[in-house]
Amino acid sequence: MNIHAVRAIFMFEINRSLRTLFQSLAAPVISTSLYFIVFGGAIGGRMTAVDGVSCGAFIVPGLLMLTILTESVSNSSFGIYLPRFTGTIYELLSAPVSAFEAVLGYVGAAATKSVVLGIVILATARLFVPFSIAHPALMIVFLALISVTFSLFGFILGVWADGFEKLQIVPLLIISPLTFLGGTFYSIDMLPPVWRAAALFNPVVYLVNGFRWAFFDRAEVDVWISVGMTLVFLAACLVLTGWIFRTGYRLRT
């Protein structure tokens, strides 16, 4: 493996985020903190517990998931789209760098930024909402797995997009609505039977529930189903990424 190439791509993406630190880190933390203040402190303090967990603590995994999914897709998609837009992608394609090494550098950097952001948001959440984590190690594993999976998805989106507006379509019109409807602020057990059955077709439900299980040791969906759904999505993204580099889809044209 060309470690120097992977490190160069990784550090370039990390340094790009450091140059825009407010947009990359401060803005997501501030916006998420507003959710904790409004829904966790102000409104949550006047609502009953959900599955034995206070309302403020209950929304912590969901809000964290909302931010991680959005930022993972955004960071990774922009990271690969920018070289395509400026034409520097041809330097990468002509360099002695394999597809695996290129993906490892771009996706690794995006996932690392998402994990760091998640940890910062967790620390910030403790300032507004008291909560505990039942399985800290598994929570980190879930956080890393989901960050890698959606960074891969963002990489695919960045290759597919042929304009800056397309980079925003999927996060705004698909990922955010699915996350809000996936049990971020509520338990799907609270829904009528018909709507609960419909919610099970939302893949984000399994991600949120698996993450919530790591926090509170309880979830509406079996944790192994959540892990399985995450791994299936990860495998699909890996297969599609391999196909992109094998065929040169929108990379060589």
Mean pLDDT of the chain: 85
Confidence (pLDDT) at 253: 61
Residue 253 lies in a domain: no
Confidence (pLDDT) at 150: 92
Instruction: Report the percentage of the chain scoring pLDDT > 70.
Output: 94
Range of the domain at 12: 3-247
Q: What is the mean pLDDT of residues 110-115?
A: 92
Q: Which residue has the higher pLDDT, 49 or 25?
A: 25
Q: What is the mean pLDDT of residues 222-230?
A: 89
Confidence (pLDDT) at 42: 59
Residue 144 lies in a domain: yes
Q: Which residue has the higher pLDDT, 45 or 101?
A: 101
**Tokens 């609270």 map to which residue?**
190
Q: How confident is the model at residue 46 (pLDDT cuts 50, 70, 90)?
A: low
Structural domain count of the chain = 1
Confidence (pLDDT) at 44: 56
Q: Is 70 exceeded by the pLDDT of residue 10?
A: yes
Q: What is the mean pLDDT of residues 69-94?
A: 85
Q: Is 80 exceeded by the pLDDT of residue 142?
A: yes
